[in-house]
């Protein structure tokens, strides 16, 4: 049977290819450090050659993507003042090419295929970690944690969080009534176990928070768009006062205590202080994209030693905003936050304004998860990372017209029947 090449770039007909491409991309993001450059080449091979089929359709009008590319371009330009220009040049080009792949994916993948691809990909990643994973001793808190096939329990925790979220999305947001319910439930159970085994307070708390927010959105979706906005504003006001009360009532310390953490977040507050001090050396444009954590640089070597990072790599300030200011200054922080906030609020507005809003609700959930994790992790600042891929995928979808009854919604409604 001969398959037309044009079907590979048609979201209505490329479901199998797009799902496999997403799943393999996730596997590459998770374990490229284990499998090396060959796996990165596979990632590029999944998306870039599609441009040759119909570049106008695959790439779209890049004049509309200026705000999406702004941070990546600035990261590349930072090589001119970087403390490690070679590192910055390579990393900057990788980040821009990563954005391009995410934008290609967002034009070829509808939200139903996104959910299916994430379910399959996360399932592969977590099963691989369960089969070949190990436990690591954390000298800072004196505990052993399951890190899977990753170098950090927080990385395993992030994929587990995404597994829980997309399983939840399958049942309660997409309202599937098909054979995908079984795999989604299985991946959800595996993800919950990995979340428990990793003992990552960050991942567990943000997962619970996002699921709670999405449950609220699910109830809001039953209302008309006008009523949704009124109820949402009321919920925001109540949420703010509740959060303030919990903060002053000691709820934060109580929650952290459940995970064996204290108010220092296992040394993160000290690391944040060091990052803020480092940002003061070049507050406007930073020291250069990925030019701080470089072997041989005194401050990086000192922090690696203090935090027992024997590999002298793969470390950061555990805060996206601080890390961004250190590397690219206030300018870079503004550009990256613009992408994150526009994406989050853009999909929120679409959700509140549309009758059928499956895509908007799913991608808003992704954006709010990335936003919450940005305060304690660095998921959107690096190339070949599932966090940055999802951010730019979600951002790109805002540049595509959102009809009141999109193809994705029709697909889900048909599946429900």
Q: Which two tokens stand for residue 108?
A: 């070829």
Tell whether the torsion through CA atoms of 195, 196, 200 and 202 is positive or negative: positive
Q: Cα–Cα–Cα angle for 195, 18, 24, nearest 5°?
A: 45
pLDDT at 267 over 80: no
pTM: 0.91
pLDDT at 243 over 70: no
Residue 138: its H or E element: strand 134-138
Q: What is the pLDDT of residue 63?
A: 80
Mean pLDDT of the chain: 87
Cβ–Cβ < 8 Å for 99, 126: no
Of 374, 388, 278, nearest in space to 320 by CA: 374
Quickly list H helices, 48-152.
55-59, 66-77, 85-108, 111-132
Query: Model confidence at 407, in pLDDT bands (50, 70, 90)?
Result: very low
Of 70, 97, 106, 100, nearest in space to 324 by CA: 70
pLDDT at 404 over 70: no
Q: What is the pLDDT of residue 82?
A: 96
Question: What is the tens place of the pLDDT at every residue in 79-114?
Answer: 999 999 999 999 999 999 999 999 999 999 999 999
Q: Which two tokens stand for residue 286?
A: 């930073």
| DSSP assignment letter at 293 | S
- Spell out a b/e string for 98-128, using b for 16 or more CB atoms within 10 Å of the CB, else e: bbbbbbbbbbbbbbbbbbbbbbbbbbbbbeb
Residue 107's alpha-carbon distances to 29, 101, 175, in angstroms, are 20, 10, 23
Residue 225's alpha-carbon distances to 213, 238, 360, 397, in angstroms, are 17, 20, 13, 20
Q: Give the percent of the chain with pLDDT over 90.
A: 61
Of 366, 269, 277, nearest in space to 319 by CA: 269
pLDDT at 3 over 80: no
């Amino acid at each position: 049977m001969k398959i037309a090449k044009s079907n590979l770039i048609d979201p209505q007909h490329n479901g199998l290819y797009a799902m496999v491409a997403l799943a393999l991309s996730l596997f590459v993001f998770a374990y490229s450090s284990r499998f090396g450059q060959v796996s990165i080449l596979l990632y590029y091979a999944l998306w870039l050659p599609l441009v040759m089929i119909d570049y106008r359709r695959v790439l779209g009008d890049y004049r509309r993507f200026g705000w999406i590319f702004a941070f990546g371009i600035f990261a590349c330009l930072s090589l001119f003042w970087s403390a490690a220009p070679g590192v910055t040049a390579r990393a900057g080009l990788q980040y821009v090419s990563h954005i391009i792949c995410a934008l290609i994916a967002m034009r070829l993948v509808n939200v139903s295929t996104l959910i299916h691809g994430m379910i399959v990909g996360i399932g592969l990643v977590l099963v691989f970690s369960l089969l070949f994973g190990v436990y690591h001793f954390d000298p800072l808190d004196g505990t052993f944690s399951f890190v899977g096939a990753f170098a950090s329990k927080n990385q395993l925790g992030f994929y587990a969080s995404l597994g829980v979220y997309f399983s939840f999305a399958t049942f309660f947001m997409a309202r599937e009534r098909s054979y995908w319910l079984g795999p989604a439930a299985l991946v959800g159970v595996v993800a919950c176990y990995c979340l428990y085994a990793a003992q990552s307070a960050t991942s567990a708390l943000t997962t619970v928070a996002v699921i709670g927010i999405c449950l609220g959105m699910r109830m809001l979706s039953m209302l008309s768009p006008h009523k949704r906005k009124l109820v949402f504003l009321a919920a925001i006001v109540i949420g703010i006062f509740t959060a303030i009360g919990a903060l002053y009532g000691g709820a934060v310390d109580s929650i952290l205590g459940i995970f064996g953490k204290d108010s220092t977040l296992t040394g993160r507050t000290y690391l944040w202080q060091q990052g803020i001090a480092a940002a003061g050396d070049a507050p406007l444009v930073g020291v250069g994209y990925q030019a701080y954590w470089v072997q041989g640089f005194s401050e990086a070597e000192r922090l690696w030693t203090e935090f027992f990072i024997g590999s002298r790599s793969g470390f950061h300030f555990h805060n996206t905003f601080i890390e961004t200011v250190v590397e690219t200054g206030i300018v870079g922080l503004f550009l990256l936050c613009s992408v994150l906030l526009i994406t989050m609020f853009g999909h929120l507005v679409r959700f509140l304004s549309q009758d059928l809003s499956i895509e908007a609700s799913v991608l808003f959930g992704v954006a709010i998860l990335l936003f919450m994790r940005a305060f304690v992790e660095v998921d959107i600042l690096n190339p070949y990372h599932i966090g940055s891929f999802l951010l730019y995928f979600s951002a790109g979808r805002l540049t595509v017209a959102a009809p009141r009854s999109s193809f994705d919604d029709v697909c889900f409604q048909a599946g429900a029947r």
